[in-house]
């Protein structure tokens, strides 16, 4: 591991879904954490009771970033426009947040003398349609503006590593699920659980054969912490996944079982533009480089996620 002492870490988008779990993990491990977030999709209440400094600001604002980076050693860049569907509807807004915003974060980190920047990237949307399992040698051919924006961010991260010696690590997340995800309206699991709760049919776009790799947010957060603390060459790209392929129909069945409603109705609609077909990833390189391996299987993870929704969202 890199430091024996705790790190001072800036987490962009830290009041969002992944941030809510990651920040708790980092604080529990003894690190000093500052969250930088414009709270457009995240919620400061997600961090209630956590010993963390919250600075409100936008990643596209160089002055605000420079101030937030004062005294920081590392950055975890989570802030993003994360919807494939919304990126197709408004590619300009997606580019502004994901490409311009990521460039601003990298450039501010370079100027601040930050040692490590861990970026949240994506696997399926970035690679596009390819025969799974995909890995770091798969040729990226994104089919949505969102996937293209994440590829651009990885490109800048690699360039900053080679041109300036910035210690960048891009982690290609599988489809993340778990607690604190109620605001992720575009996420399948959130939509499926919401439909079950309200009694509406679960909606599947396409014939249900499209597949994804669903990885629990606790495993994603552990991988981020490893990327902050292990010796990793700048410019590294790693897939963080479960290695398990789950079709949308299988996911709907698992969600219905987790909620105790195996006969809840399912409705099929036409496939959407920009959605990848089959996708799941190999995490072999992440295992070699970080010592990462998933610890939460999909059945246990979905059961606990439904319980969180039932207790924290649907009961509210």
What single-letter DSSP state applies at residue 71? T
Active site residues: 146
| Structural tokens at position 22 | 């990651």
Question: What are phi and psi for residue 167, nearest 5 degrees?
Answer: -80, 80
- Position of tokens 């502004």? 96
| Chain centroid, CA 45 distance in Å | 19
DSSP H or E stretch at residue 214: strand 214-216
CA–CA distance, 164 with 277 (Å, rounded to integer)? 37
Of all helices (H) and strands (E), which one includes residue 266? strand 266-269
> Cβ atoms within 10 A of the Cβ of 53, count?
12
DSSP 33-52: EEEEE--SSS-GGGGTT---
Query: Which of 78, 163, 183 lies closest to 121 in space, CA to CA?
Result: 78
DSSP secondary structure code for residue 144 in this structure = S
C-alpha 258/C-alpha 8 separation (Å) is 39
Taking a C-beta distance cutoff of 8 angstroms, is the pair 125, 84 a contact? yes
End-to-end CA separation in angstroms for the chain: 42
């Amino acid at each position: 591991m890199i430091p024996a002492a705790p790190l001072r870490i800036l987490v962009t988008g830290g009041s969002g879904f992944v941030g809510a779990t990651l920040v708790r993990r980092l604080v529990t491990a003894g690190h000093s954490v500052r969250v930088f977030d414009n709270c457009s999709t995240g919620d400061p209440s997600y961090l209630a009771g956590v010993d963390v400094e919250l600075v409100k600001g936008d990643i596209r604002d160089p002055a605000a970033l420079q101030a937030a980076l004062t005294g920081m050693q590392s950055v975890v860049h989570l802030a993003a426009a994360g919807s494939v569907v919304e990126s197709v509807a408004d590619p300009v807004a997606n580019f502004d947040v994901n490409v311009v915003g990521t460039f601003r974060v990298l450039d501010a980190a370079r100027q601040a003398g930050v040692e490590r920047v861990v970026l949240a990237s994506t696997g399926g949307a970035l690679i596009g349609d390819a025969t799974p399992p995909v890995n770091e040698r798969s040729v990226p051919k994104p089919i949505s503006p969102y996937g293209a924006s994440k590829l651009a961010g990885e490109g800048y991260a690699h360039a900053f590593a080679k041109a300036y010696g910035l210690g960048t690590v891009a982690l290609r997340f599988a489809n993340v699920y778990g607690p604190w995800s109620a605001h992720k309206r575009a996420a399948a699991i959130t939509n499926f659980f919401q439909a079950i709760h309200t009694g509406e049919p679960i909606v599947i776009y396409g014939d249900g054969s499209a597949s994804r790799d669903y990885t629990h947010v606790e495993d994603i957060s552990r991988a981020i912490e490893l990327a902050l603390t292990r010796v990793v060459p700048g410019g590294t790209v790693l897939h963080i996944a479960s290695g398990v392929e789950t079709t949308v129909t299988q996911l709907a069945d698992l969600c219905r079982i987790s909620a105790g409603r195996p006969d809840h109705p399912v409705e099929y609609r036409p496939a959407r533009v920009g959605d990848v077909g089959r996708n799941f990833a190999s995490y072999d390189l992440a295992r070699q480089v970080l010592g990462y391996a998933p610890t939460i299987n999909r059945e246990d993870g979905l059961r606990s996620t439904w319980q969180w929704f039932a207790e924290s969202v649907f009961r509210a």
